[in-house]
Amino acid sequence: MMRKDTTRTVEQTDAPARTRLPIHDIAVGDCIEQMAAFPDQSVDLIFADPPYNIGYDYDTYDDRRSDEEYVEWTRRWISQCARLLKPRGSFYILIGDEYAAEARLHLKTLERQNKLAFRNWIIWHYTFGQNCKLKFNRSHAHLFYCVGSDACRYTTEITKDPPFTFNREAIAIPSARQTTYGDRRANPTGKLPDDTWYLRPQAMVGEVGRYYLSPEMDTWYQSRLCGTFSERVGWHPCQLPEALLERIIKVSSDRGQIVFDPFTGSGTTLVVARRFGRKWTGCELSNDYAAKALERIFNTEVLDDDGPSPMQLALEAGEEALPKRHKWSGESGGEGAGASRSRQARTKEGKANGDSEGEDADEASPLFGT
């Protein structure tokens, strides 16, 4: 079932006069100035995809700043986002090679101040359309995943009662033990991708295929949007695929929670947030982009739930949809006892931070992990 809500409230007030979040609206203007007027600890999930300072042609923003100016600007907007983040919230930053290190260093500063906790450095590996002549084609961006300040004060094992939203069931995938080895010890609820989600379009298997992620890599593999793709809006130079935001919003927020994007752009973050029943808000420097993004957002159908999980789709498709290359003999050969002891040691070492949970430390499936 789907419903379409065409109610819209467009609020166009100056940043200094605003004392609340513009829910279901986009604040037009400089994001740092706009965020400065929003209340502390008011947002459940933040996704930020800032300009990369590589000369993109935006309609109002100058994407050719000096290194010093850009890095200082980056520190300021990240600090404002950290202030807005609820203690149990989540914060994702997508950024290019040029300033990833500087952004990560500032996140370290905020960690030392107990304003957030860093969880993962993810690589999004995108495809399609790259054709450099005298260097290797760029096909990745950096995705930093952080959580709110409650995690900084955690004193017990974080996996037992995590102080942030992390919906495991929304993104759990069939494990290698299920898809490859036919191992009876496989967790029937699947396993988490580690800090790599690797989606291979060329290895898709029916409807289930598009949800498969590699368990063991630090790369999220999802095509970027090119001009010929039907999802592309055409009026913004940097549009992200909805699939990337769908995974983030499903795992790090619940229905009714607030999703915020300080660089709304084409509106993809807020489109996906609306589709899955989250409250949404954002900032955008360009009046034109904001108006077009709002039109796109309010034309988005609102789903009654988050839809089937990858594991549910796998079960519905049945055994024939899950590729099996060979059976693993189990107790002897292959890895051997030494490898098993090594795996147990890695599991014990990572448990304190929730880095490893039993089967979630398995080897990757040959189909989805290469």
Give me the DSSP letters along 291-331: HHHHHHHHTSPEESS----HHHHHHHH-GGGS--------S
CB of 173 closer than 8 Å to CB of 311: yes
Number of domains in the chain: 1
Residue range(s) defining the domain that contains residue 191:
167-216+307-370
Chain position carrying tokens 């960690």: 111
Distance (Å, whole) CA 359 – CA 176:
9
Name beta bridge partners: 146.
91, 118
Query: 67-84 and 97-112 are packed helices; what angle lies between their axes, rounded to 10 degrees?
Result: 40
User: pLDDT value at position 227?
Assistant: 41
Listed in sequence order, the residues at least 6 apart from 105 whose beta carbon sits closer than 8 Å to its beta carbon are none
Q: How many CB atoms lie within 10 A of CB 219?
A: 19
Q: Report the candidate in 312, 364, 358, 264 with the shortest Cα–Cα distance to residue 30.
A: 264
| Mean pLDDT to the nearest integer, 107-118 | 97
pLDDT above 60 for 32: yes
Element (H, E) at 117: strand 117-125
274 inside domain: no
143 inside domain: no
Name the percent of the chain lying above pLDDT 70. Answer: 67
Q: Report the candidate in 296, 291, 290, 292 with the shortest Cα–Cα distance to residue 273.
A: 296
Q: What is the pTM of this model?
A: 0.77
User: pLDDT value at position 24?
Assistant: 97
CB of 46 closer than 8 Å to CB of 262: yes
CA–centroid distance for 190 within its chain: 20
Torsion of CA 144, 78, 47, 7, to 10 degrees: 180
User: pLDDT value at position 151?
Assistant: 95
338 inside domain: yes
Mean pLDDT of the residues in the chain = 76
Note the pLDDT tens digit of each residue in 251-299.
Answer: 999 999 999 999 999 999 999 999 999 999 999 999 999 999 999 999 9
Distance (Å, whole) CA 338 – CA 344:
10
Listed in sequence order, the residues at least 6 apart from 255 whose beta carbon sits closer than 8 Å to its beta carbon are 276, 277, 278, 305, 306
353 inside domain: yes
Of residues 198 and 87, which shows the higher confidence score? 87
121 inside domain: no
Name the percent of the chain lying above pLDDT 90. Answer: 45
Note the pLDDT tens digit of each residue in 206-263.
Answer: 333 343 333 333 344 444 443 434 454 554 456 788 888 998 999 999 999 999 999 9
pLDDT above 50 for 316: yes
347 inside domain: yes
Listed in sequence order, the residues at least 6 apart from 41 whose beta carbon sits closer than 8 Å to its beta carbon are 83, 84, 85, 86, 87, 89, 148
Note the pLDDT tens digit of each residue in 60-106.
Answer: 788 889 999 999 999 999 999 999 999 999 999 999 999 999 999 99
318 inside domain: yes
User: pLDDT value at position 218?
Assistant: 39
| Mean pLDDT to the nearest integer, 176-189 | 83
358 inside domain: yes
